[in-house]
Amino acid sequence: MNARNLTRPNLVRTLSSVFGGSLKIPVQLFASKNFHHSESCEHGSQVDEKFIEELKTPEDKPKLEFRGSNFDFPCLNKRFIDGPEPNYQKIKGGYRLFICKEPYKFYYNGGLLPEFELAYETWGTLNKDRSNAILLFTGLSASSHAASQEDNKLPGWWEKFIGPGCALDTNKFFVICVNQLGGCYGTTGPSSINPLTEKQYATNFPMVSVKDMVTVQKILVESLGIKKLYAAVGASLGGMCSVTMAALYPEMVSRLVSLSSSSKAHPTAIAFRYLQRRCIMEDPIWNRGHYYDGEYPLRGTKLAREIATMTYRSGIEWEKRFGRVRIPGEPPSLCHNFEIEQYIEYQGVQYATKLDANTLLYLSKAMDLFDLNEYFDDCEDKNGLNRVKCPTLVMGITTDMLFPVQQQRDLAEGLRRAGNESVTYYELNSIYGHDTFLLDLSNIGTALKGFLETQMAVNGHLSKHRIAE
């Protein structure tokens, strides 16, 4: 008898009869992947698969259990006080203001500002012939407040490097530090008010280049009656600026210092900074940069800073400082379980509102676009380093992932190949990565002080040529 012709209630009874009357038909037989309705049973009967599920009883189905997660997602931000950290402050005053009422034309896209302002601070005393001035170029995150002074007694980002007897000895030198063009600490930038619209420039601000940063600071220096700098000093973005200053205006720079920097942006650094910008620009609150009348794009800026923190330090430091240390009392979750996670989170929260989001976008893009030789495309000699003839100090850090040490080696060697006979190169094996220039007073400070105060490089160079004559 064909099982297809049986009524459903009689199917099991009929099959039992075929196989011996008292046979119990296991559900597993019907559920087996090897059993199909077209296959014949031992006695020639067939079973249709559409009845299989109907044959199962609630008792036959396995009982399922689930134990999942019920996270509160606290992700609390706690400050880690162990280990050195850069001292960046959100500056709202205590600086001098240079106001230029003349229009300024930018290097890119024909951008034009009707006027601009530069926030700057000074330390030490300018001598009578105005020959002891050092121009200190800042990195991306820094304000003009490199060190405490009478109008702002808070510690600066290079506090231990500037002062009497320090690397930049204010008993000998007049130190000038300017907030970069495009910044947000007193200098004209995206958060500044456009005098023509009486609203913030936001992302209508012109694209900024390293060349623009250098050019406007040259205008400021000249306004102080300084015709030639004793030295142009900078690290990171500031190092790009100091090299550019010496190349664009070689007659104005007596010494050059470039720390943890290069003559062009590295593709790895470009990729890191691109991700930071995307974090901000993907935040809906960013509103294409026009957020000044509403909520601040905190989430995107916080994530951007977390990525930046990873590029500023080194795995060697974090292995020693954090390792795989777990946060006490925290069960495994999608939130913080390791101290390193909590540290990264804290860095993002701490710095997210210190630096304006649009300033980060503009200055980081200026760094990515930087290639010194590009500024000399219209010249017969397109190698910018050929114009740098002054004594130069280049310093690199072996653990720097943002400006790989090979870039500093290339910079020093490029200057030597260009005919500069007074190039000093130091390579530090510091655990602090890119931030070494902010933290390593012993090595950075000693090398910088020695280079600035010794006459060996200059006199040695001059003596060599006198002997040759």
| Residues forming the active site | 236, 400, 434
- CA 363, CA 369: separation in Å to the nearest integer? 10
Torsion of CA 222, 225, 228, 231, to 10 degrees: -80
How many CA atoms lie within 13 Å of 342's alpha carbon, on the beta-carbon side? 22
Helix (H, G, I), strand (E, B) or coil at 258: strand
- CA 1, CA 321: separation in Å to the nearest integer? 80
Phi, psi (5° rounding) for residue 443? -85, -50
Query: Hey, what are 358's tokens?
Result: 């649009």
- CA 401, CA 448: separation in Å to the nearest integer? 22
Helical ranges in 156-291 per DSSP H = 210-223, 237-248, 267-281
If we measure between CA atoms, which residue out of 175, 200, 184, 181 comes closest to residue 90? 184
Q: Which contacts of 345-351 are long-range, i.e. CB under 8 A and separated by 24 or more positions?
A: 345/75, 345/77, 345/306, 346/77, 346/78, 346/79, 346/80, 347/305, 347/306, 347/309, 348/302, 348/303, 348/304, 348/305, 348/306, 348/309, 349/77, 349/302, 350/79, 351/88, 351/141, 351/305
Q: Is 48 exposed, middle or buried (0-12, 13-18, 19+ CB in 10 A)?
A: middle
